[in-house]
């Protein structure tokens, strides 16, 4: 991190390629990206990206469930078939189910790609890779539970609530323990 005369900071992230040839390591800097670090916002941006990556991972899990198990999609198709008036043309449910499963399969790959992009950026911007990883995993757990409850009607037990409380406490301790001396003095 570089501090300028006027007090603002820039966080420099270098994309580096390492090449080993004849037992000699050569490092090539591919690109340097500068992110403004105003009041520690780059750290918050890193954690926000980790939460968004967890949300994308939860969405990918939901689309995987829809793609691999045709039961939920078949129920949607049957309810559409019942609600559509008898005089209109409704395609066969097996065709609709196949198309919806294909769309779900495509969305599974899309959300996984977005998740990995956000997760890698969060690793670059967060205070530590441990913080980014645990934040991502925790967000994935919570969003998966919410999507499972809302979309698929899955029950959330008391054990799940107790476990998630411990995860929140652990995450809070990791965030609190990762502060530097300068950050503690500022508060």
Answer yes or no: are the C-beta atoms of 178 and 127 closer than 8 Å: yes
pTM, 2 dp:
0.68
**Is the pLDDT reported for residue 120 higher than 90?**
yes
Domain range list for the chain = 1-36, 40-179
Of 127, 117, 130, the C-alpha closest to 45 is 127
* Bridge partner residues of 33 (DSSP): 13
Average pLDDT over residues 170-181: 73
Predicted confidence at residue 88, as pLDDT, reads 60
């Amino acid at each position: 991190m570089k501090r300028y005369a006027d007090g603002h900071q820039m966080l420099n992230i270098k994309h580096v390629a390492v090449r080993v040839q004849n037992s000699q390591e050569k490092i090539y800097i591919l690109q340097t990206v500068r992110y403004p670090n105003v009041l520690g916002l780059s750290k918050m941006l890193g954690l926000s990206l980790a939460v968004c990556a967890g949300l994308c991972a939860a969405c990918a899990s939901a689309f995987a469930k829809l793609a691999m198990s045709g039961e939920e999609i078949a129920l949607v198709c049957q309810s559409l078939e019942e609600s559509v008036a008898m005089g209109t043309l409704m395609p066969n449910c097996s065709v609709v189910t196949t198309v919806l499963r294909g769309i779900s399969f495509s969305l599974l790959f899309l959300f996984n790609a977005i998740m990995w992009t956000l997760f890698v950026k969060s690793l670059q911007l967060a205070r530590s890779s441990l913080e980014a990883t645990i934040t991502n995993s925790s967000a994935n757990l919570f969003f998966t539970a919410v999507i499972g409850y809302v979309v698929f009607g899955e029950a959330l037990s008391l054990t799940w609530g107790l476990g998630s409380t411990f995860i929140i406490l652990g995450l809070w301790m990791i965030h609190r323990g990762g502060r530097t001396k300068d950050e503690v003095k500022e508060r």
